[in-house]
Amino acid sequence: MMMTINGRFVSQRATGVQRYAREIVTELDRLLQEKRFKSSVSAKLAMPAGSELDAPLRAIRCEQIAGGGPLWDQTVLPFSTEGVLLSLCNIGPLSVAKQIICIHDLNVFITPESYSRAFRSYYRLMLPLLAKRAARIVTVSQFSAHMLTGFGLCKAEKLTVIPNGHEHVRRWRPSLSRYASMEAGQRPFIFMLGIALHKNVGTLLAIAEQLDTLGLDILVAGASGKSFSTLDAGPVPHNVRILGFITDDDIAALYQNALCFAFPSLTEGFGLPALEALALGCPVIASNAASLLEVCGDAALYADPASPRDWLCQIKRLQDGLDLAQMLRVKGFRQAKRFSWAKSAELYLDLVTSLYERAD
């Protein structure tokens, strides 16, 4: 049984989608070293020339193929595909039907204003075609599954939900971060991650003055990109710090030192930052929207993404209630354990096997 993994993600900046691919591939490599799979499954990671995975693989063979860029999937990858093709980052070659493709979300349909015109036009064209052409479609939450069927991209029987995991946060080293300890005079802060428009940072900025009165700052991390429409970087309230791009170690330190992680997104395919915060013991206040209720369960506080007053009330509850914060930490650790990269990788192997069995 042969599997080819679409490795274009190796050449891309790591966002949540690329992290998903890296972690799934890492766990697949670990599984394929086990005796039960060693003799029955062969796999290769086909990636653009000049790109290199940051962690060595032992069971999955890495193959660099000439070319790169957005059309590499369509024009180069099909000729190097052997067996089942696994595309983990929304886009794969239209010419390959024996393909499992993970479509993480339909945000280009739900919040098109978050994306550049070129990006959303390409995705709105390609996603329906790929969903119809591929043998199986994977997505990362029940919410995203409902969106895929609701927008008519594919039928429910073609879909499998394979969520994100949390184990990668164990590799982060917050002690190496510049945010490892609170600076002298640093006030308690609310941490936010992501500045694309659908991340809805403006809801928290609207209550910055009231939070300042409560002695709280807002720290917002996230890099802009040409594919996204992002938060206006104009004047911001004096208790708001826009951090720009930060490392994983920085993210871990900010989760651990924050009063809470605020995630007021209008929509999420999964919402990995909320899961990371839970796994690192950071109380979470999340939107009562999209996938976030299924990801956070009873381990978070919730607020209406359209109501700044709602967010202010929940933040005040958390600031005034040490017992509440501790309860959320305990529940957060438990909730995070429900999501595992190892379990998700096994589900992918099951899907690959099912395609071979169906062909036989």
Q: What is the CATH number of domain 2-165+340-359?
A: 3.40.50.2000
Q: Write down the pLDDT at residue 230.
A: 54
Helix spans in 95-233 (H): 107-110, 117-133, 142-150, 202-205, 208-213
DSSP helix/strand/coil, 60: strand
- Provide the residue type at 41 as one letter: V
Specify the CATH architecture of the domain 168-336.
Answer: 3-Layer(aba) Sandwich (3.40)
Helix spans in 100-233 (H): 107-110, 117-133, 142-150, 202-205, 208-213
Q: Write down the pLDDT at residue 356.
A: 79
Q: Write down the pLDDT at residue 340.
A: 98
Q: Write down the pLDDT at residue 232.
A: 60
In the chain, what are the domain boundaries? Answer: 2-165+340-359, 168-336
Decide: 302 and 258 in contact? Cβ < 8 Å.
no
Cα–Cα distance measured from residue 139 to residue 276, given in angstroms and rounded to the nearest whole number: 19
Roughly how many angstroms between the first and final C-alpha of the chain, as a whole number?
Answer: 12
Q: Write down the pLDDT at residue 199.
A: 96
Could you read off the pLDDT of 155-191 as tens digits, one per residue?
999 999 999 999 999 999 999 999 998 776 689 999 9
Cα–Cα distance measured from residue 100 to residue 222, given in angstroms and rounded to the nearest whole number: 30
Residue 207 — φ and ψ, nearest 5°?
Answer: -115, 15
Q: Write down the pLDDT at residue 226.
A: 54
**pLDDT < 70 regions, the chain:** 184-185, 224-234, 358-360
The C-alpha R_g of the chain, in whole angstroms, comes to 21
Cα–Cα distance measured from residue 174 to residue 201, given in angstroms and rounded to the nearest whole number: 24
pTM: 0.94
| DSSP label at residue 245 | S
Q: Write down the pLDDT at residue 20.
A: 98
Say if 2-165+340-359 and 168-336 have the same CATH topology: yes
Cα–Cα distance measured from residue 132 to residue 155, given in angstroms and rounded to the nearest whole number: 9
**In the structure encoding, which two tokens stand for residue 269, read together?**
């395919």
Strand-pair partners of 241: 219
Decide: 142 and 295 in contact? Cβ < 8 Å.
no
